[in-house]
Amino acid sequence: MSATNPPRTFHVKSFGCQMNVYDGERMAELLTAQGMQASDAREDADLVVLNTCHIRERATEKVYSDIGRLRRDDGTTPLIAVAGCVAQAEGAEIMARAPSVRVVVGPQAYHRLPEMVAAAAAGGRETETDMPAEAKFAALPRRRKSGPSAFLTIQEGCDKFCTYCVVPYTRGAEISRPFADLIDEARALVEGGAREITLLGQNVNAWRGENAAGQPVGLAGLAQALAKLPDLARIRYTTSHPADMDDALIAAHGDNPKLMPFLHLPVQSGNDRVLKAMNRSHTAESYLKLLDRVRRSCPDIALSGDFIVGFPGETDAEFADTLSLIDAAGYAQAFSFKYSARPGTPAADMDGQIAAEVMDDRLQRLQARINRDQLAFNRSTVGRRCTVLVERRGRQDGQWLGKSPWLQSVHFTDQAAIGDLVEVDLIEAGPNSLAGRRVG
């Protein structure tokens, strides 16, 4: 590869989960600190960072088609860096298959991005997929600006090894960032404009640390300390694992007023044989009991989940158990996916891989129930008064969009500004959003 001018502009495109969005923001901050300028259009940028996701087959294929699409009309390409979970899992393959890629950097090594980009501009091809994550966070610049709702990664990695999932391989072992660092980063985000912080982790409720008094604390203790930041109004967290839902966290939903009444708690299946084959540590019954305990602590809570249909060997009757669990749980929303065999995971080699048509049919039936429950939940909140955090302008004149405490999208038309917390009466519900009327 020949040398090029050091890039002056960059574009970061993130795929996948919110942790990737967070990483994308941090990479942008790193590059900005080097004097580079962010560009909204990737066609114009000197450097394009594709921050990739490996969770399902489709997500991975997208990377290669995206690399192809970066070729400009005159045959040139920007300097392309592939980051994220595909970089971690298939770095060598990307380098071999896509000669235009000049940098491959894994999710735990992106603090090295600026020097790698400089070396690539000087003619090299750079790969870094080192773990673990501690060095990364210490090397990132202090945060300065934030939108009203900010992400803060507090925990990385996963030790759960669900048999279908690549995350333990792409993100490494579970680590918790230190308490003091998190309070510091949260303070910087709030000073930069954040009113809401969503704490992130692949298993966010597995976070453990020591508070300022040197006592061991979990996520509830961290949320309690964050609640003391006066200008921080709302705390959320995602994604939690049922096994790490401890008593203190359940209690916090009842007594920490800044902790929003929303819980995303993936279950994956409602059938115990399938759950066992997935290496999930809960049964359908223990999961539903856990939801009961959460609801006793916070009757108002909105629940969300993740589902996989068509796990190897799943029969119609086993799938029907998942539909029954949905009926019993009463979700406010949920995500659902067709099982995707991932290279290197135990489930990819299991007998009984399910035909695509069967998965399509099951996904449709499952999503019909979820949609039914989502609409029912939204309707159940009509007539309630709640606070909405204003996040952006709506499409119509004078219209604003924001989130209710239950993570619903709410629109209203009135005087307001981004970052305002406004009182709203919810007056009309659709499947995906609600109309509100500002109070007073």
Which positions lie near ligand SAH, rule CB under 6 A? 55-56, 158, 164-165, 167, 202-203, 239, 241, 266, 268, 306, 308, 337, 339-340, 342
Q: How many residues bind ligand SF4 (CB under 6 A)?
A: 10
Q: Which residue has the tokens 């949260």?
A: 186
Q: Which of 106, 221 has the CB closer to ligand F3S?
A: 106
Distance (Å, whole) CA 106 – CA 21:
14
The answer to whether 245 contacts ligand SF4 (rule: CB under 6 A) is no
The answer to whether 165 contacts ligand SF4 (rule: CB under 6 A) is yes
C-alpha separations of 274 from 264, 268, 279 in Å: 21, 9, 9
C-alpha separations of 180 from 26, 327, 349, 357 in Å: 19, 42, 43, 50
Q: Which does 168 bind (CB under 5 to 8 A by kind): ligand SAH, ligand SF4, ligand F3S, none?
A: ligand SF4
Tokens of 242: 């049922």
CB 269 within 8 A of CB 245: no
Q: What are phi and psi of 47, to 5 degrees?
A: -125, 130
Q: Which of 340, 404 has the CB closer to ligand SAH?
A: 340
Q: Which of 171, 142, 141, 149 is nearest to 159 (CA)?
A: 171
The answer to whether 105 contacts ligand F3S (rule: CB under 6 A) is no
CB of 366 to ligand SAH, least distance (A): 12
C-alpha separations of 369 from 268, 270, 272, 366 in Å: 15, 14, 20, 5
Alpha carbon 320 to chain centroid, angstroms = 28
Residue of the chain from 28, 47, 50, 55 that contacts ligand F3S (CB under 6 A) = 55
Q: Which of 17, 245 has the CB closer to ligand F3S?
A: 17
Q: Which of 173, 368 has the CB closer to ligand SF4?
A: 173
Q: Which of 39, 202 has the CB closer to ligand SAH?
A: 202
Q: Which does 91 bind (CB under 5 to 8 A by kind): ligand SF4, ligand F3S, ligand SAH, none?
A: none
Question: What DSSP designation does 177 have?
Answer: -
Distance (Å, whole) CA 177 – CA 193:
23
Distance (Å, whole) CA 91 – CA 107:
12
Beta strands in 16-122 (DSSP E): 37-38, 47-52, 79-83, 101-105
Fill in the amino acid letter for 30: L
The answer to whether 238 contacts ligand F3S (rule: CB under 6 A) is no
Stretch that binds ligand SF4, among 105-113, 161-169, 211-219, 333-341 (CB under 6 A): 161-169
Fill in the amino acid letter for 359: M
Q: Which does 85 bind (CB under 5 to 8 A by kind): ligand F3S, ligand SF4, ligand SAH, none?
A: ligand F3S
The answer to whether 336 contacts ligand SF4 (rule: CB under 6 A) is no
- What string marks each residue from 188 to 207 as x (binds ligand F3S by CB under 6 A) or -? --------------x-----
- What string marks each residue from 57 to 86 as x (binds ligand F3S by CB under 6 A) or -? ---------------------------xx-
CB of 340 to ligand SAH, least distance (A): 4
Residue of the chain from 147, 168, 178, 330 that contacts ligand SF4 (CB under 6 A) = 168
Q: Using DSSP, how many helices (H) and how many strands (E) does the chain show?
A: 13, 21
Q: Which does 116 bind (CB under 5 to 8 A by kind): ligand F3S, ligand SF4, ligand SAH, none?
A: none
Report the DSSP pairing between strands 385-393 and 399-403: antiparallel
Q: Which does 151 bind (CB under 5 to 8 A by kind): ligand F3S, ligand SAH, ligand SF4, none?
A: none
Residue of the chain from 27, 95, 158, 410 that contacts ligand SF4 (CB under 6 A) = 158
CB of 210 to ligand F3S, least distance (A): 26
CB atoms within 10 A of CB 177: 21
Q: Which residue has the tokens 């086993």?
A: 318
Q: Which does 56 bind (CB under 5 to 8 A by kind): ligand F3S, ligand SF4, ligand SAH, none?
A: ligand SAH
CB atoms within 10 A of CB 123: 11
Rg, the chain, Cα only: 22
Q: Which of 254, 346 has the CB closer to ligand SAH?
A: 346
Q: If phi over 0 gives left and psi between -120 and 50 gives alpha, with beta otherwise, what is residue 172?
A: left
The answer to whether 334 contacts ligand SF4 (rule: CB under 6 A) is no
Distance (Å, whole) CA 226 – CA 233:
10
Site of interaction with ligand F3S (CB under 6 A): 16-17, 19-20, 53-55, 84-85, 166-167, 170-171, 202
Site of interaction with ligand SF4 (CB under 6 A): 158, 160-162, 165, 167-168, 202-203, 241
